[in-house]
Amino acid sequence: MSWVHVITPIVTTGFRVAALPAPNGCRVTNSQVKQGPASIESAVDEVLAAPGVVDSAIKAEEDGVQAVVIDCMLDPGLDAAREAVSIPVIGCGEAAMRAAGTNFAIVTVLQRQERAFADLARRYGMADRMIEIIGIGVPVLALESDRKIALAATIEGSRRAMERGAKSVVFGCTGMLGFADEVSSALHGLKVIDPLPNAITAAHEAIQNSQTTDKAVYPYPDAKPIVGFREWAALDALMRSQADD
């Protein structure tokens, strides 16, 4: 039985209340960060979420977790978490783009995220595969409270992407969890990537293949003083242990 832990990098209580999808032979657990933003829709939000992501990844590895997933399409703290632990760290954004194939579009919550996703696609070497980024005009925290409106807007955004040549659509927010079946049913022939289940599967496969984080690429951070982060206990302990080595 593999063990994947999903880190939800926001502080909104009850954002993840339903059981998360788990592949056969995989245990999936979940936690939210204790300090950070209510939702992630900007670069500022990403920065605020990152310390909690790193702290949670360190704690997960200490508890025996075999791989972690960052529950956000913008991959906040992904490289930092990979430096902090040796177990695989899967970013929903990176994993989804790699699964999408060619001619994919991202259908996300807000158009303001267009620059962020364009930057991520370039970083992951996917810029030539991504044809469009479409915001549906529904904030992250309204995806569940206004689910009917959000789902209709996601279907319409995906339809626009398909009409403009997209062969697949990647949901630009893990808050769209569970929308895939209805979008696929409405738009026959369109491949739909629901990023959180996709990332959990990728993490499970990494465990099965005995993958670890390449510490030559993501070395542990050098020891140095840090100020103002004592509330992130695992992060503080990591820096102290590096100083002792």
* pLDDT tens readout for residues 83-99: 999 999 999 999 999 99
Q: How far apart are CA 83 and CA 218, in angstroms?
A: 5
Residue 204's contacts (CB-CB under 8 Å, 6 or more residues apart) are 2, 4, 23, 25, 26, 67
**Looking at the predicted structure, is the pLDDT value of residue 230 above 80?**
no
Last residue of a domain, one of 158, 179, 195: 195
Q: Taking residues 210-216, report their average pLDDT.
A: 97
Same domain as 31, residue 83: yes
CATH of the domain at 145: 3.40.50.12500
* 74: nearest Cα among 28, 123, 32: 123
Same domain as 100, residue 179: yes
pLDDT of res. 189: 84
* pLDDT tens readout for residues 51-64: 999 999 999 999 99
CATH of the domain at 21: 3.40.50.1860
Q: Taking residues 210-238, report their average pLDDT.
A: 84
* pLDDT tens readout for residues 118-137: 999 999 999 999 999 999 99
Same domain as 114, residue 44: no
Q: How far apart are CA 138 and CA 143, in angstroms?
A: 7
**Looking at the predicted structure, is the pLDDT value of residue 145 above 90?**
no
Q: How far apart are CA 161 and CA 106, in angstroms?
A: 8
Same domain as 212, residue 165: no
Same domain as 156, residue 224: no
Same domain as 175, residue 237: no
**Looking at the predicted structure, is the pLDDT value of residue 243 above 60?**
no
* pTM of the predicted structure, to 2 decimals: 0.94
- Mean pLDDT computed over every residue of the chain: 94
* pLDDT tens readout for residues 195-205: 999 999 999 99
The position carrying tokens 């996300």 is: 108
Same domain as 116, residue 101: yes
Task: Provide the token pair at 150.
Answer: 């959000």
> Would you place residue 242 in the very low, low, confident or very high pLDDT band (cuts 50, 70, 90)?
low
Same domain as 161, residue 104: yes
Same domain as 152, residue 208: no
Q: How far apart are CA 139 and CA 39, in angstroms?
A: 9
Percentage with pLDDT > 70 across the chain: 96
**Looking at the predicted structure, is the pLDDT value of residue 180 above 60?**
yes
* pLDDT tens readout for residues 38-52: 999 999 999 999 999
Instruction: Give me the number of domains the chain comprises.
Output: 2
Structural domain boundaries enclosing 183 = 94-195
The amino acid present at 102, given as its one-letter code, is: T
Q: Between residues 233 and 175, which one has the greater pLDDT?
A: 175
Same domain as 170, residue 101: yes
User: Which strand ranges, in their side-by-side order, compose the sheet holding 168-171?
Assistant: 130-135, 104-108, 168-171, 191-193
Same domain as 183, residue 116: yes
> Would you place residue 223 in the very low, low, confident or very high pLDDT band (cuts 50, 70, 90)?
confident
Q: How far apart are CA 98 and CA 32, in angstroms?
A: 25
Same domain as 205, residue 87: yes
Last residue of a domain, one of 195, 218, 233: 195
1-40 in b/e burial notation, b at 16+ Cβ within 10 A? ebbbbbbbbbbeeebbeeebebeeebebebbbbeebbebb
